[in-house]
Copies of this chain bind each other. A is one copy, B any other.
Amino acid sequence: MIFFHEGQILYTYLHIAADKPQAQALLAKKVKAVAYETITSPEGGLPCLTPMSEIAGRLATQEGGAKYLEKPFGGRGVLLGGVPGVKRGNVVIIGGGIVGLNACKMAVGLGANVTVLDISASRLAFYDDLFDSRVTTLFSNRTNLIKCIKEADLVIGAVLIPGAAAPKLISKEDLKLMKKNSVIVDVAIDQGGCFETSKATYHDNPTFVVNDVLHYCVANMPGAVSLTSTLALTATTLRHGLNIANKGLEKALADDKHLLNGLNTYDGKLTNEAVAISLDIPFEPVAFN
């Protein structure tokens, strides 16, 4: 249980959309809470989430392919890039967004045989532009997915439906089609995961096995590379933080609508519409000037 001071300013990751008790506590204490995850940017997107997605995507390949596929860690004992004369490992990436793109870059870099599935034709065309013949792109549908996981050494779940639980694309039963000691990394675990069998784990015991498939489902993957993650995050959050400190919160919110988008609670009001809808609490916008 977290205790808040009356009227305090909070500037951090909140993730209260699925945490009503915490939201209610913030409202009760009239906390002025700016949530990293809902701050927007002039270029679109959620600038405080993007670097964490980039890191998680890159780590997904490293964790799954360069660590847990190794025999001493319980994997198949496959080197992703193979060596000349020996087959390369098959990496299947489900979802071609920021996480998938970064996972793909690392998998291609390690020399793996990479397949990316997505439902967006234009996103797959972007992969074709960037990676040409180094990646196979496939429309994501049940037929293609099942074909792919049968051959996979490493499957990375990188499916994101903004503001919704991730769809369960691979069932417990499907795992039986996979190779023994192959590896799954579920980067969508924050949103419930895209494998039926996923459940969140931590860095001190990151994996478990279901139907002979190793699961890596660490929710806070970027914590593994804390130095890189800290630099990436502060580069994004510092500017707003300095503005809040220098100008005062209200003036900072008045000057920058993207920061205002980050405001989740203020003076007992729930000020972010999406969060309000998700929590079924009345949405009360505030304005500053």
Cβ–Cβ contact A224 & B70, under 8 A: yes
Cβ–Cβ contact B81 & A106, under 8 A: yes
Partner of A58, one of B83, B204, B236: B83
Chain A contacts with B in 208-226, Cβ cutoff 8 A: 223-226
Q: List residues of chain B with CB within 8 A of the CB of A162.
A: none
* A282 vs chain B, min Cβ distance (A): 27
Q: Does A10 contact B (CB under 8 A)?
A: no
Q: Does A141 contact B (CB under 8 A)?
A: yes
Cβ–Cβ contact B137 & A85, under 8 A: yes
Q: Does A269 contact B (CB under 8 A)?
A: no
User: Can you name 24 A-B pairs with beta carbons within 8 Å?
Assistant: A50-B125, A51-B83, A54-B125, A55-B83, A70-B225, A71-B227, A76-B227, A77-B224, A77-B227, A77-B228, A77-B229, A81-B106, A84-B127, A84-B137, A86-B138, A86-B231, A86-B235, A109-B132, A112-B133, A114-B133, A121-B235, A121-B236, A129-B130, A139-B235
Q: List residues of chain B with CB within 8 A of the CB of A225.
A: 69-71, 77-79
**Chain A interface main SS type:** helix
Q: List residues of chain B with CB within 8 A of the CB of A47.
A: 121
* Cα–Cα distance between A82 and B130 once the two chains are bound (Å): 15
* A35 vs chain B, min Cβ distance (A): 18
Q: Give the interface segment out of A17-25, A26-34, A59-67, A186-194.
A: A59-67
Cβ–Cβ contact B224 & A88, under 8 A: no
Cβ–Cβ contact B105 & A54, under 8 A: no
Partner of A87, one of B77, B78, B122, B231: B231
Cβ–Cβ contact A113 & B85, under 8 A: no
Q: Does A241 contact B (CB under 8 A)?
A: no
CB-based nearest B residue for A232: B86
Cβ–Cβ contact A79 & B50, under 8 A: no
Chain A contacts with B in 230-260, Cβ cutoff 8 A: 231-232, 235-236, 238
Q: Does A136 contact B (CB under 8 A)?
A: yes
Q: List residues of chain B with CB within 8 A of the CB of A173.
A: none
* A199 vs chain B, min Cβ distance (A): 19
Q: Does A163 contact B (CB under 8 A)?
A: no
Q: Does A174 contact B (CB under 8 A)?
A: no
Q: List residues of chain B with CB within 8 A of the CB of A83.
A: 51, 54-55, 58, 102, 128, 228, 232
* A93 vs chain B, min Cβ distance (A): 14
Cβ–Cβ contact A86 & B122, under 8 A: no
Q: List residues of chain B with CB within 8 A of the CB of A71.
A: 203, 223-227
Cβ–Cβ contact A86 & B133, under 8 A: no
Q: Does A134 contact B (CB under 8 A)?
A: yes
Q: Does A111 contact B (CB under 8 A)?
A: yes
* A83 vs chain B, min Cβ distance (A): 4
CB-based nearest B residue for A141: B235
* A125 vs chain B, min Cβ distance (A): 4
